[in-house]
Chains A and B, each alone.
Chain A
Amino acid sequence: DTAVSQTPKYLVTQMGNDKSIKCEQNLGHDTMYWYKQDSKKFLKIMFSYNNKELIINETVPNRFSPKSPDKAHLNLHINSLELGDSAVYFCASSQLGRVGYNEQFFGPGTRLTVL
C-alpha cells in the first residue's frame, strides 16, 4: 500500500488556469505538508496542516491554497497559474508531537508544467 499518494503525477496546463493537486496519506498521521522543488532542485516548504488547521504558511503567493477535507487529505489549489509555478510539488505527512522525531513521509511528487 502506498503511504503517501499524489494525483496527478504529471500536470501540463496553460497560464492563467486554475488547477488542483490531490494528496492522501494512509499512515494515520495528523500533519501534512506541501513542498515545492524548482528547476534548480531546491526543496522548499510551502504549507503544513495539523488537525485541519494551517500551522505554518511560508511566503507563497495567495494564489496557492491548501485545503484539507479530512485528516488524511491535503489538496493544493493553485489559481491563475504562472510560468514560475512550474516545478515538482511534493506532499508529505508526519505525526506531530513526537518530541525530537521529525520523520516525514513524502509522496512521489507531481510535476507541474505551465505553458
Chain B
Amino acid sequence: DAKTTQPTSMDCAEGRAANLPCNHSTISGNEYVYWYRQIHSQGPQYIIHGLKNNETNEMASLIITEDRKSSTLILPHATLRDTAVYYCIVRGRITGANNLFFGTGTRLTVIP
C-alpha cells in the first residue's frame, strides 16, 4: 500500500470550506484513495473514496490530481461537528486482505 502524507493539524472557520490535502506520490494504478475520520472517542467513520475521477457525496468531495499523486478532501461548509482527525488511506483492489492502514491523519479543528 502506498504511503500517505498529511499535515498534522488544520483550523477552519465554521461555515467555510475545509480543504484537507493528502500526498500519495507512490500510489500505483490500481490503488484507491479512501478518507475516514474519527471524532473524539468514537470509531472511525468512512467519508468517501475514489480512484482517479473526482467524487462527491452527501458528506464531502474528493479531488484527485490528474497524476494521482495527491488528493484533497473538501468539506464544503464545515460545522463544529466536523472537528475530528481525518485519515487519508491508499488501498489496493481487494485481493483477500481487506485491512486499512491508518496513518497519523490531520486533526481538523472547526472554529466558531
Contacts and interface: CB of A to CB of B under 8 A. Distances in A.
List 6 tightest A-B contacts by C-beta distance, closest first: A106-B43, A45-B99, A43-B102, A103-B46, A56-B97, A106-B44
B94 A100 contact: yes
Nearest to B102: A43
A77 interface: no
A47 B51 CA distance: 26
B37 to A, nearest CB: 11
Given A41-B104, A56-B99, A99-B94, 10 more contacts: A44-B102, A45-B101, A48-B99, A55-B98, A96-B94, A101-B94, A102-B91, A102-B94, A103-B49, A108-B43
User: Size band of the A side of the interface?
Assistant: 20 to 34
Q: Is the interface of B mostly helix, strand, loop or mixed?
A: loop
Nearest to A30: B98
A97 interface: yes
B35 to A, nearest CB: 11
B44 A90 contact: yes
Interface string A34-77: 00000001111100101000011010000000000000000000
Given A50-B98, A94-B98, A106-B43, A43 B93 contact: no
B88 interface: no
A104 interface: yes
Contacts of B9: none
B99 A33 contact: yes
Interface in B74-112: 85, 87, 91, 93-94, 96-102, 104
A15 to B, nearest CB: 25
Nearest to A109: B43
A101 to B, nearest CB: 7
B100 to A, nearest CB: 6
